[in-house]
Chain A
Amino acid sequence: MEKKQELLMVLNIISNFTDGLLFFDEKDRLVLINKKAEKLLDINKKLIGKKAIELTDIPYLETIIGIFLSKQNLQKEQAKINEKTIEVSFINNKGTLIILHDITKEKMVEQMKNEFVSIVAHQLRTPISSIKWTLKMFLEGSFGQVKQDQKKYLEKIYTINERMVELINDLLNIARIEEGRYVYKPVPTNLINLIETIIKQFKEKAEVNQINLVFEKPNFSTKIVIDPEKIKLVLQNFIDNAIKYNHKGGEVFVSLKSDKENITVSVRDTGLGIPKEQQKRIFTKFFRAANVMKTDTEGSGLGLYINKELIEAHKGKIWFESKEGKGSTFSFSLPLQKNNNKIK
């Protein structure tokens, strides 16, 4: 292909590209803006050649230039521009390419889905409460004496119904997490106290399952700015899994480490572990590993997904190491600085 023809083709692609494109050279001068970007940003004058700093007074461009000039964290960001939700990506290569991807429709569909899940889950709670209350009152003899073997079945249904209650709670939590309005009210929290409370809650469950649950309490004390209810939920999910997917006589260790920037909490078990080929899907919604699905039919596959969302909403990291048949260690770390804890 001839050079000229090649150039024409590239310009044609850029000009008609479905995403908005802007390119700033190494001196922060705007050298390219395509039609879609002009449309998204409602721009109708020539801006080519201007420096980024000169563009901050253009209403819809202001947000993007703000992110660009801050030169921090130039990854994907979502911005509300001109009543649209735009995903803004920055690619640095001899200048900066800014890609504007309109995700308004996806956001709307997602919101509708979340509202739907919320409504369904709330509606399900009423009949499920009726079932719960009736069964309990049967078991307590409100409707006359219940025979021992009948009681056994009623108790079984009661347990199954309780699982539905939990599943509905998980679905409601997820709908809210995905709407981005779940984590809030971060307050300085003593993480060690929080862990001790949770360990106490799990004592009985650990005993029933014959698991030795140990908190390797560190010799430092620390406060961290978090939403305590949510971090509690994360730890509950970790510990619950570690007990449930374990062997009789197995062990679960909860430990805590801290350096200058982060605080890391780990839950280590001597349990079933996760098959290697399935490890990369472990934080996916509704995913359950093949080996645990055989031994335990109760899990919903939502706990670790919820955990990942909650930790990331705290600007933290979550990860695990696991060997099938040996056990798993699940960890999360949270940044210690207050200002890093701005919640989405």
Chain B
Amino acid sequence: MAKKLLIVEDDQFLRELVAKKIREENYEVVEASDGEEGLKKVKEAKPDLVLLDLMLPGIDGFHVLEQIKKDSEISKTPVIILSNLGQKEDIDKGMNLGAEDFLVKAHFTPGEIIEKVKIILG
């Protein structure tokens, strides 16, 4: 069965681009456009991995990550932060909250993002 990825990203165009790239790699994609929807879909869809933006309307990505890691049912879901924040404090905060990796959008291509996903999903 194809592995399932959830992408939480408020910018529609960016979300579509990554989703397209993910489908090309034969993964299943679930999309969410804000933190609340993201958190809901982690619980419902039980994805194998979450690509998580940080600056989101409503509850932000840090908070979503915190909630995921607190909930024993979904806490094992690996999360890659995909954000345009990227100062040391942001990275430290994200990694301390339990993210697998922190990717600055402007520094990675969709192909490179997928490579990171593959490493984690094995």
Q: Which A residues are closer than 8 A to B by beta carbons?
A: 122, 125-126, 128-130, 132-134, 136-137, 140, 142, 165, 168, 172, 176, 184, 229
Contacts and interface: CB of A to CB of B under 8 A. Distances in A.
Contacts of B104: 125
Interface string B5-35: 0000001011001101100100000000000
A11 B81 CA distance: 64
B106 A137 contact: no
A126 B84 contact: yes
B111 A129 contact: no
A125 B18 CA distance: 16
B21 A130 contact: no
A129 B110 contact: no
A154 to B, nearest CB: 13
B109 interface: yes
Contact of B11 (A122, A126, A165, A176): A126
Interface residues of B, number: 19
Contact of A142 (B11, B21, B84, B88): B21
Contacts of B95: none
Contacts of B84: 122, 125-126, 129
Contacts of A172: 87
Nearest to A165: B106
Interface of B: 11, 13-14, 17-18, 20-21, 24, 84-85, 87-88, 104-107, 109-111
A130 B20 contact: no
A143 to B, nearest CB: 9
Nearest to B14: A130
Contact of A137 (B11, B85, B110): B110
Contact of A133 (B14, B24, B85, B88): B14
A132 B104 CA distance: 12
Nearest to B10: A126
B109 to A, nearest CB: 4
19 contacts: A122-B85, A125-B84, A125-B104, A126-B11, A126-B14, A126-B105, A128-B106, A129-B84, A133-B14, A133-B17, A133-B105, A133-B110, A134-B17, A136-B110, A137-B20, A137-B21, A140-B111, A142-B21, A184-B88
Contacts, number: 46
Nearest to A184: B88
Nearest to B55: A122
Contacts of A165: 106-107
Contacts of B11: 126, 130
Given A126-B84, A130-B13, A142-B21, A136 B111 contact: yes
A158 B107 CA distance: 12
Contact of B109 (A126, A132, A168, A176): A132
B34 to A, nearest CB: 15
Given A122-B85, A130-B14, A176-B87, A168 B106 contact: yes
B22 to A, nearest CB: 11
Contacts of A229: 88
Given A130-B14, A133-B17, A125 B106 contact: yes
Contacts of A140: 111
B83 to A, nearest CB: 9
Nearest to B104: A125
A133 B51 CA distance: 16
Contact of B105 (A125, A134, A136, A184): A125
A165 B21 CA distance: 22
A137 B14 contact: no
A142 B20 contact: yes
Given A128-B106, A176-B87, 16 more contacts: A122-B84, A125-B84, A125-B105, A126-B84, A129-B84, A129-B105, A129-B106, A130-B11, A130-B17, A132-B106, A133-B18, A133-B109, A133-B110, A136-B109, A136-B111, A184-B88
